């Protein structure tokens, strides 16, 4: 790792100020960023640590019934504190990586990074959540722009995510056992207004909604409804773990399993 | 250089570190606590697991500066002052839960974190909790058995599995 200075602000305002210099980068849990720094794929001269900002932590339900989770909330905290409100989300958090990763890694870090195989993007998009930053609110549909790409500007911080709570939801993760990320995973959320289906780990453009499946399931919420639907393997990630066609197929299987898990 | 202060195994510890100094470097190189191992340095293997404010973390993937003011526990603090092993360590010895021993400090610290939250885990829960701890020698079976024994559960049936 190249050396850098570390700043530890106590408020969002102080962090935003510290990030106004060009060479500064935020660090939340560091579970992605520290390995990236070791590989010298990022070389900030100032790291602005978000871990001491209490106003970015916590899980609470607001007056509109949305579950608001601070960007600096660890996966472990979400797994325990969201369980009573939004079990599908809590279960997703409980299966990210391993316990030590969950004790440091955060919601904000995960969706700022937008790894094409990360878990949280599927829940944020699949819930139709709103990403709150230090300067604005961004609908999930407008937030995830592609592999490792988001609508965030330079120096903009994910301070909170507001999740509408579905009637039922399930995250089905096909584990890539070496990385413990999903190879392909699907988040299905059933709302009164309709069903949302978000697929992660599959597409070269990152997390996406499988709208055909959403329409079918909104009509009839049964896995059978999906049996003739397929996803196109072109544009899907192909690597030593699986071809694009394999991932496309896996996404359909994960979706059906998620629906079965909810219907049972 | 920045001065950091923390409590390590119940005793105050401090030193001057760079921004990039990892917690595991600080523990091993500045404090001489070389029981915490570095297996991969890429947050995969869990040999470097220590507790920070009671939570298991990978010390290779946390900056020393971030542990300012924290309570840190390492493998060196697990046995009693006279060298008597704690329950988990003794169970690893009794059930042959280690071979080369490289992964063991991380395994013991992960096991301690698990049993603190879940004093009577099932075998499946133990295995799930050890997702981030890799052992090249034992095949995990005896590690799981040791942790089950340390939790006071009967492990006779596990042997027959
Ligand atoms: C062994 C291992 C297994 C893992 N398994 C999984 C898995 O199964 N599923 C999964 O989804 N993830 C997995 N991860 C990734 C993990 O969840 C990370 O914690 C997460 O991707 C990043 O969160 P972080 O808080 O550590 O962010 P950091 O590493 O601190 O930051 C990541 C990036 O986001 C930026 N950033 C951080 N916080 C903010 C913010 N609030 N606003 C704006 N930008 C910000 C940083 O500048 C950096 O570019 C795994 C990681 C490891 C090491
Ligand atoms: S050395 Fe930290 S996880 Fe391997
Ligand atoms: S005992 Fe050798 S790596 Fe586990």
SS3 of chain B: the string is CEEEEEEECCEEEEEEECCCCEHHHHHHHHCCCCCCCCCCCCCCCCCCEEEECCEEEEHHHCEHHHHCCCEEECHHHCCCCCCCCCHHHHHHHHCCCCCCCCCHHHHHHHHHHHHHHCCCCCHHHHHHHHHHCCCCCCCCHHHHHHHHHHCCCCCHHHHHC
Q: Is the CB of B64 under 6 A from ligand 2?
A: no
| Interface residue A23 vs chain B (CB under 8 A) | no
User: Residue A236, class by beta-carbon neighbours within 10 Å (0-12 exposed, 13-18 middle, 19+ buried)?
Assistant: buried
Cβ density class B30-59: b for 16+ within 10 Å, e for less: bbebebbbbbebebbbbbbbbbbeebbbbb
Whether B53 and B106 share a structural domain: no
Q: Tell me the CA–centroid distance for residue A201 and ligand 2, in Å.
A: 24
For the beta carbon of residue A65, count every other beta carbon within 10 angstroms.
9
Whether B70 and B99 share a structural domain: no
Tally of domains within chain B? 2
Q: Is A6 in Cβ contact with B19 (below 8 Å)? A: yes
Q: What 3 state SS string does A95-154 have?
A: CCCCHHHHHHCEHHHHHHHCCCCCCHHHHHHHHCCEEEECCCEEEHHHHEEECCEECCCC
Q: Is A4 in Cβ contact with B63 (below 8 Å)? A: no
User: Residue A218, class by beta-carbon neighbours within 10 Å (0-12 exposed, 13-18 middle, 19+ buried)?
Assistant: middle
Contact criterion met (CB below 8 Å) for A100 and A181: no
Q: Is A8 in Cβ contact with B20 (below 8 Å)? A: no
Of B26, B57, B77, the residue that ends a domain is B77
pLDDT tens per residue, range B89-128: 999 999 999 999 999 999 999 999 999 999 999 999 999 9
Q: Tell me the CA–centroid distance for residue A255 and ligand 1, in Å.
A: 25
What ipTM goes with this model?
0.96
What is the average per-residue pLDDT within B57-76? 98
| Domain A168-263, CATH homologous superfamily name and number | CO dehydrogenase flavoprotein, C-terminal domain (3.30.390.50)
Whether B71 and B8 share a structural domain: yes
Whether B70 and B123 share a structural domain: no
Q: Tell me the CA–centroid distance for residue B42 and ligand 2, in Å.
A: 6
What is the topology classification, in CATH, of domain A5-163? 3.30.465
Whether B13 and B56 share a structural domain: yes
What's the domain range around B23?
2-77
Sequence length of chain A is 264
Residue B147 in domain: yes
Token duo for residue A108: 């904000």
Q: Does the CA dihedral A196-A95-A66-A27 come out positive or negative?
A: negative
What's the rounded Cα separation, in Å, for the pair A233 and A153? 31
Q: Is A100 in Cβ contact with B49 (below 8 Å)? A: yes
Q: Is the CB of A109 under 6 A from ligand 1?
A: yes
Residue B161 in domain: no
Nearest chain A residue to B51 by CA: give it. A100
Q: Is the CB of A32 under 6 A from ligand 1?
A: yes
Q: Tell me the CA–centroid distance for residue A39 and ligand 3, in Å.
A: 26
- The pLDDT profile of chain A, 264 residues, written as one tens digit per residue, is 899 999 999 999 999 999 999 899 999 999 999 999 999 999 999 999 999 999 999 999 999 999 999 999 999 999 999 999 999 999 999 999 999 999 999 999 999 999 999 999 999 999 999 999 999 999 999 999 999 999 999 999 999 999 999 999 999 999 998 888 999 999 999 999 999 999 999 999 999 999 999 999 999 999 999 999 999 999 999 999 999 999 999 999 999 999 999 987
Q: Which residues of B touch A104 (CB under 8 A)?
A: 57-58, 61-62
Atom 4 of ligand 3, residue of closest alpha carbon: B135
Q: Check residue A205 and give its pLDDT.
A: 96
Whether B70 and B103 share a structural domain: no
Whether B14 and B70 share a structural domain: yes
pLDDT tens per residue, range B35-54: 999 999 999 999 999 999 99
Q: Which residues of B touch A103 (CB under 8 A)?
A: 55-57
Q: Is the CB of B40 under 6 A from ligand 3?
A: no
| Short-list A124, A241, A221, A129, CA closest to A181 | A241
| Interface residue A225 vs chain B (CB under 8 A) | no
Q: Check residue A245 and give its pLDDT.
A: 97
Ligand nearest to the CA of B39: 2
Please, which residues bridge with residue B51 across strands? B56, B73
Whether B91 and B70 share a structural domain: no
Contact criterion met (CB below 8 Å) for A100 and B58: yes
Domain ranges of chain A: 5-163, 168-263
Q: Is the CB of B98 under 6 A from ligand 3?
A: yes
- Cα B114 from chain centroid? 11
Contact criterion met (CB below 8 Å) for A124 and A142: no
| Short-list B3, B55, B6, CA closest to B27 | B6
Mind telling me how many Å the CA of B118 is from chain A's nearest CA? 13
Choose among A3, A49, A104: nearest Cβ to B57.
A104
Share of chain B above pLDDT 70, in %: 98
Contact criterion met (CB below 8 Å) for B52 and B24: no
Q: Which of residues 72-131 of B touch A (CB under 8 A)?
A: 110, 113-114, 129, 131
Cβ density class A15-43: b for 16+ within 10 Å, e for less: bbebbeeeebbbbbbbbbbbbebbeeebe
| Whether pTM exceeds 0.90 | yes
Predicted confidence (pLDDT) at residue B161 exceeds the cutoff of 70: no
CA dist list (Å): A137 to A28, A98, A131: 20, 31, 6
Domain harbouring B21, CATH code: 3.10.20.30
Confidence of residue B159 (pLDDT cuts 50, 70, 90): low
Whether B144 and B101 share a structural domain: yes
């Amino acid at each position: 790792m190249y050396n850098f200075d570390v700043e530890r602000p106590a408020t969002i305002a102080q962090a935003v100020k510290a990030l106004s210099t060009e060479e500064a980068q935020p660090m939340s849990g560091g579970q992605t960023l520290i390995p990236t720094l070791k590989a010298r794929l990022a070389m900030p001269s100032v790291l602005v640590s978000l871990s001491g900002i209490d106003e970015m932590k916590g899980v609470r339900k607001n007056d509109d019934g949305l579950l608001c989770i601070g960007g600096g909330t660890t996966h472990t905290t979400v797994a325990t504190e969201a369980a009573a409100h939004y079990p599908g989300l809590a279960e997703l958090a409980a299966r990210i990586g391993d316990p030590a990763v969950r004790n440091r890694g955060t919601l904000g870090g995960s969706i700022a990074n937008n790894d094409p195989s990360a878990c949280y993007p599927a829940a944020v998009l699949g819930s139709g959540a709103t990403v709150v930053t230090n300067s604005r609110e961004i609908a999930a549909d407008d937030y995830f722009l592609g592999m490792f790409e988001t609508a965030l500007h330079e120096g903009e911080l994910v301070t909170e995510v507001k999740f509408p709570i579905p009637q039922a939801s399930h995250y089905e993760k096909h584990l890539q056992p070496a990385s413990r990320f999903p190879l392909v995973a699907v988040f299905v959320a059933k709302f009164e207004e309709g069903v949302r289906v978000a697929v992660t780990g599959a597409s070269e453009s990152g997390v996406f909604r499988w709208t055909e499946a959403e329409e079918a399931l909104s009509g009839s919420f049964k896995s059978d409804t999906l049996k003739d639907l397929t996803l196109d393997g072109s544009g899907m990630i192909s690597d030593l773990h699986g071809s694009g066609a394999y991932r496309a197929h896996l996404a359909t299987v994960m979706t059906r399993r998620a629906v079965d898990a909810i219907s049972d | 250089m920045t001065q950091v202060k923390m409590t390590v195994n119940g005793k105050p510890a401090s030193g001057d570190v760079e921004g990039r100094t990892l917690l595991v470097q600080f523990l091993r190189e500045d404090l001489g606590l070389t029981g915490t191992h570095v297996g991969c340095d890429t947050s995969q293997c869990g040999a470097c697991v220590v507790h920070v404010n009671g939570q298991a973390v990978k010390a290779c993937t946390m900056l020393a500066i971030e542990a300012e003011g924290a309570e840190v526990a390492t493998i060196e603090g697990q046995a009693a002052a006279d060298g008597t092993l704690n329950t988990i360590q003794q169970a690893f010895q009794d059930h042959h839960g280690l071979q080369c021993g490289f992964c063991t400090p991380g395994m013991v610290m992960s096991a301690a974190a698990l049993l603190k939250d879940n004093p009577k885990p099932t075998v499946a829960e133990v295995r799930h909790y050890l997702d981030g701890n890799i052992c090249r020698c034992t095949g995990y079976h005896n590690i799981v058995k040791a942790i089950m024994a340390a939790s006071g559960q009967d492990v006779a049936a596990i042997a027959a599995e």
